[in-house]
Structure 1
Amino acid sequence: MNYEIPFCCPILSPRYFLSCLICPCLISSILYSKIFRNQSMTIFPLICVPFAAYNIRRYVQTTLKYGEHPEKSFLKSFCCCFSLTQDLHEMEANKIGVFKYYNEEPDLDNL
């Protein structure tokens, strides 16, 4: 199984691409903290964006059982804008990670 959007064409998910292009350190910090630390924010992903992107990428691949080799993931994570865009899109499409409890349609009866 592969990702829905290609690595070299992140513009297919414009919302995530623009947010990762403008501030990848903030996006990686929020994702890394929510997935691995269950906190709102941590310092490590702010400073070391490619390493945080690698951990996020490996999380998506192990959760969805994708067969990408770890060295290939490591090289792709240095283009952190593309990698984070691709991983965010996959998390939203498959409802994992930060989108695990994300509901697109609010239940109007409970409002």
Structure 2
Amino acid sequence: MPRITFIEPDGTVRTVDAERDESAMQAAKRNSVDGIIGECGGSCICATCHCHVDALWTDRVGPAGDIEADVLEFEATDVRPESRLACQIAITDALDGLKLRVVGRSR
């Protein structure tokens, strides 16, 4: 079972078990990670699951798609090159150990 480490907005580090083929947002919500709201339920429209991907993981996670990039641009704060929506990160065994810093809140 892949594990994801979330760094919550207050700096708390939470490592959770994730199911293969669920999103990082679903794993965060199932484990009550602070700052991951997922208001849209994973539809890629609200940016309430905004995270910064740790530099060691950006290549493996990959860049945001076009729709996700638009949502980040128009709905999120503190957008950086490593920004992703957790709802758009599909968990695979290759992401075991992934580290995400939660930004979460939309504008």
Q: TM-score by structure 2 length?
A: 0.28
| Greater radius of gyration (CA) | 1
Q: TM-score by structure 1 length?
A: 0.27
The structure, 1 or 2, with the larger RCO (C-alpha pairs under 8 Å, 6+ apart) is 2
Bigger share in strand: 2
Bigger share in helix: 1
